[in-house]
Amino acid sequence: MTIRTRFAPSPTGYLHVGGARTALFSWLYARKHGGAFVLRIEDTDLERSTAESVNAILEGMTWLGMEYDEGPFYQTKRFDRYNEVIDELLEKGLAYRCNCSKERLDDLREEAMQNKQKPRYDGHCRDLDIDPSQPHVVRFRNPQEGSVVFEDLVRGRIEIANDELDDLIIRRTDGSPTYNLSVVVDDSDMGITHVIRGDDHINNTPRQINILTAMDKEVPQFGHLPMILGDDGARLSKRHGAVSVMQYMEDGFLPEALLNYLVRLGWSYGDQEVFSVDEMIQLFDIDTVNKAASSFNTEKLLWLNQHYIKESDPAHIAHLLSPHMGRLDIDPTEGPDLVEVVKAQQERAQTLVEMAEISAFFYRDYDEFDENAAKKNLRPVAREPLEEMKLALASVEEWTPEALHQLVQDVSNQLELKMGKVAQPLRVAVVGRAASPSIDITLYLVGREACLRRIDKALEYISKREQSA
Ligand code: GLU
């Protein structure tokens, strides 16, 4: 049997972390077993579904590298098919028309609440002959006896008595099919063998199994993934900060770091934390997913992000860093090679946003000195080392890190100063703040002209300081 999984988001917002984790597990399962991964857009809620949201979902999937083999299929394009199935069920007596008034249904609900029972439809119209030309809904004739049993791939055996399930509406008064009906028709038509989804759908599963059975269709296997909680123990939501996948891109996360983080939400392999995509495919399996909810931990995500920034090929990081430079209004072709900048900064940033910020000085003069750094390092005693360095930098022939290193060394020797007493004022002069890669690499990448210009700026700062003292 070829395994076929699907991701079936409702396009009513962006692709969020929970959805991405569901997609990832379905995708991994298909990839592992040589199966196919189908993308289905469940856009039947016309009021809440938007084209922007569809785009955001597709964008998020692409960014994370979860390519789908089939789709995207849109449920709104399949209404005829759903209605065909509903009519078939009606014909076979497996569904029936119901025209119970809203008042009657409200009364039923009220009564159930008073008796502390679960509100459920009482089957009033089951055996009535409702005029199809009058307003009505269509209900599925749920079996009244026995129970639905399934072996959940994550949670194990689940059994629900049929008398707990009422006759759910499968077609609304306006003629539109409902969620449970369309999902079942799609999963069946699309040959889905494994439905991997969030456990917020677990109550729908027995109903869906009953409909599939009534349709005489194969019932897929189900795996319901545990919830993701925020650090306060409540279900992860917007108020826990960025939960949109694309927000993580904006915030300077690498897709591989987020994927690695997501795979560990509810799944583990010994105490291994770092997984390449290939390793995920090799090691993941649905029956090793945890039953318990997992908590989202931003610190850990940051740690992974830093790990991938450090360990990845600099050219790859440069490629991802480029748009973040653009956001600072920097065109990385107008300055040092971005790959060289990445090599210099790889150990120094947790996110690409941070890396862009600490690398801007390679491409343009800083506006102001960092106050503390200037106060501490650009003092009158720094005048002489800076002047000497300026002379030396202006005339050095070879502009290489080695030669520049030697230059700083020579000036320090000449002035009988420790190297730090020369290098640190020089760094603040060239960078505008106290931290940067090693001084030789910093000078080398900033370039001669900018170095000289910025040293002048530092000397001016020192003069002003002397005057006002
Ligand atoms: N469209 C549903 C949702 O976004 C998922 C349905 C399913 O996976 O069966 O919650």
3-state SS string over 80-93? Answer: HHHHHHHHHHHHCC
**Predicted pLDDT of residue 271:** 95
Length of the chain: 469
Q: Is the pLDDT of residue 364 over 80?
A: yes
Over residues 319-346, mean pLDDT: 98
Pocket test for ligand 1, best of 26, 53, 197 (most atoms within 8 A of CB): 197
Q: What's the average model confidence in pLDDT over 351-372? A: 97
Best residue among 16, 49, 153, 183 to mutate for probing ligand 1, ranked by most atoms within 8 Å of CB: 183
- Is the CB–ligand 1 distance for residue 197 below 6 Å? yes
Backbone angles phi, psi at 81, to 5 degrees: -65, -45
pLDDT band at 231 (very low <50, low <70, confident <90, very high): confident
Indicate which residue of 77, 92, 238, 464 is catalytic.
238
pLDDT at 461: 97
* Statement: residue 238 has pLDDT above 80: no
Atom of ligand 1 at shortest range from CA of 42: 1
Residues 83 and 177 sit within 8 Å (Cβ to Cβ) = yes
Identify the CA nearest to 90 among candidates 167, 13, 5, 188.
Answer: 167
194 CB under 6 A from ligand 1? no
**In the predicted model, what is the mean pLDDT of residues 358-368?**
97
How many angstroms separate the alpha carbon of residue 224 from the centre of ligand 1? 11
How does the average pLDDT of the chain come out, rounded? 96
Query: Does residue 220 have its Cβ closer than 6 Å to ligand 1?
Result: no
Q: Which residue's alpha carbon is at the smallest distance from atom 7 of ligand 1?
A: 8
Instruction: Assess whether 310 carries a catalytic annotation.
Output: no
Torsion of CA 113, 115, 121, 122, to 10 degrees: -160
Statement: residue 469 has pLDDT above 80:
no
**Cα–Cα distance for residue pair 19/13, rounded to 1 Å:** 11
* Inter-residue contact 75 to 43 (CB < 8 Å): yes
**Residue of 201, 208, 211 best suited for mutating to test ligand 1, as the one with most atoms within 8 Å of CB:** 201
**Does ligand 1 lie within 6 Å of residue 40's CB atom?**
no
pLDDT of residue 243: 82
pLDDT at position 48 is: 93
Token pair recorded at residue 138: 């269509």
CATH 3.30.2010.10 fits 4-228, yes or no: no
Closest atom of ligand 1 to CA, residue 19: 4
Residue nearest to atom 6 of ligand 1 (CA): 8
Instruction: Write the pLDDT tens digit of every residue in 432-443.
Output: 999 999 999 999
Instruction: Give the position, in ligand 1's atom list, of the atom nearest the Cα of 198.
Output: 8
Amino acid at 2: T
Distance 225 CA to ligand 1 centre (A): 12
Give the CATH number of domain 238-311; options: 1.10.1160.10, 1.10.1030.10, 3.30.230.10, 1.20.58.220: 1.10.1160.10
Distance CA 201, CA 68 (A): 22
- Assigned token pair, 192: 């889905």
How confident is the model over 65-101, as pLDDT tens digits?
A: 999 999 999 999 999 999 999 999 999 999 999 999 9
How far is residue 380's CA from residue 375's CA, in Å, rounded to a whole number? 10
Is ligand 1 within 6 A of the CB of residue 9? yes
Residue given tokens 């189908």 in the structure block: 38
> When comparing pLDDT for 284 and 243, which is higher?
284
**Tokens describing residue 332:** 């990385």
CA 75 to centroid of ligand 1, rounded, Å:
12
| pLDDT score at 242 | 64
365-468 CATH: 1.10.10.350
Cα separation of 368 and 378, whole Å?
13
Quote the ligand 1 centre to 8 CA distance (angstroms): 5
Nearest to 49 by CA among 7, 10, 9: 10
| Residue 145: per-residue pLDDT | 95
CA 238 to chain centre: 13
pLDDT grade for 118, boundaries at 50, 70 and 90? confident
Rounded CA-CA distance 410/70 in Å is 65
pLDDT mean over 439-452:
98
Closest ligand 1 atom to residue 204 Cα is 9
pTM: 0.92
Asked if residue 10 has its Cβ within 6 Å of ligand 1, the reply is yes
Q: Pick from 4, 6, 10 the residue to mutate for probing ligand 1's pocket: most ligand atoms within 8 Å of its CB.
A: 10
Q: Which residues are paired to 158 by β-bridges?
A: 150
* Residue carrying the six token digits 């170095």: 451
Where does the pLDDT of residue 241 fall: very low under 50, low under 70, confident under 90, or very high at 90 and above?
A: confident
For the stretch 289-329, pLDDT in tens is 999 999 999 999 999 999 999 999 999 999 999 999 999 99
pLDDT of residue 46: 87
